[in-house]
C-alpha cells in the first residue's frame, strides 16, 4: 500500500488502508460510463484528426488543444474528468495499464492499475484538480512525469 499512497500523494488523492480500500474488476456499467465520458471529449475531433486520435500522442494532442483553448472552464468538473478518462486511455495504450474500480468510504472510482502490481493511478481527476486550482496543465509533461514515477516504482519493487 505504500506505493498507492506515494502516487496518491503525488496527485493529491486521499488513500485509505488496504482494509478500507478494495479494488475490483471494472463492470459493465462502469465501462458504459467511461464510453459516455470519452464521447464528451471526442465530439471535438475533426474528421481529419480521427486517425491521429487512435495514437497516444493523438489523444494527448486533442487534450492539449482543448486545454489551450479553454474549452472547459474550471467549474465544469464533469467535462474536465471526461478529459481525464481520455488521459487514462493513453496509459492503457502506452503502458498496458488496466481500468479497475477502487471502492472506499467515498464510493466507487475508476482507476488504472499496472497489471500484477499494486501501482494504481487516478487519471480521471488529474486534469480536473489542476484546472480547478488554476494551474497550467501540460498533458505531455504530466504523462511523462507519471510514467517516470511508475517506472521508478516498478524498479523499486524489483530491487
**Predicted confidence (pLDDT) at residue 5 exceeds the cutoff of 50:** no
**Predicted confidence (pLDDT) at residue 7 exceeds the cutoff of 80:** no
Which grid cell sits at 49?
484528426
CATH number given to 2-158: 1.20.120.1090
Q: What is the mean pLDDT of residues 108-133?
A: 96
Domain boundaries, the chain: 2-158
Which grid cell sits at 34?
467511461
Q: Quickly count: other Cβ atoms within 10 Å of residue 7's Cβ.
A: 20
Q: Are 143 and 60 in contact (CB under 8 A)?
A: yes
Cβ burial 66-95 (10 Å sphere, 16+ → b, else e): bbeeeebeeebeebbbbbbbbbbbbbeeeb
| Cα(140)–Cα(92) distance, integer angstroms | 15
Residue 159's pLDDT is 61
Burial class (CB in 10 A: 0-12, 13-18, 19+), 51: exposed
pLDDT band at 156 (very low <50, low <70, confident <90, very high): confident
| Cα(97)–Cα(99) distance, integer angstroms | 7
% of the chain with per-residue pLDDT over 90: 77
pLDDT single digits (tens) 60-81? 999 999 999 999 999 999 999 9
Q: What is the mean pLDDT of residues 23-32?
A: 95
| Cα(41)–Cα(62) distance, integer angstroms | 8
Among the listed residues 41, 45, 44, 47, the one whose alpha carbon sits nearest the alpha carbon of residue 81: 41
Residue 21's pLDDT is 87
Mean pLDDT of the chain: 89
Amino acid at each position: 500500500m505504500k506505493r498507492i499512497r506515494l502516487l496518491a500523494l503525488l496527485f493529491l488523492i486521499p488513500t485509505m488502508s488496504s482494509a478500507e480500500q478494495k479494488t475490483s474488476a471494472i463492470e459493465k456499467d462502469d465501462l458504459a460510463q467511461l464510453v459516455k465520458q470519452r464521447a464528451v471529449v471526442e465530439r471535438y475531433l475533426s474528421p481529419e484528426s480521427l486517425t491521429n486520435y487512435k495514437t497516444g500522442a493523438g489523444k494527448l494532442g486533442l487534450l492539449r488543444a482543448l486545454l489551450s483553448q479553454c474549452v472547459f472552464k474550471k467549474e465544469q468538473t464533469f467535462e474536465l474528468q471526461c478529459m481525464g478518462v481520455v488521459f487514462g486511455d493513453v496509459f492503457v495504450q502506452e503502458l498496458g495499464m488496466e481500468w479497475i474500480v477502487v471502492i472506499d468510504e467515498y464510493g466507487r472510482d475508476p482507476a488504472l492499475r499496472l497489471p500484477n502490481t499494486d501501482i494504481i493511478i487516478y487519471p480521471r481527476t488529474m486534469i480536473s484538480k489542476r484546472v480547478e486550482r488554476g494551474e497550467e496543465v501540460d498533458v505531455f509533461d504530466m504523462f511523462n512525469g507519471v510514467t517516470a514515477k511508475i517506472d521508478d516504482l516498478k524498479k523499486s519493487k524489483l530491487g
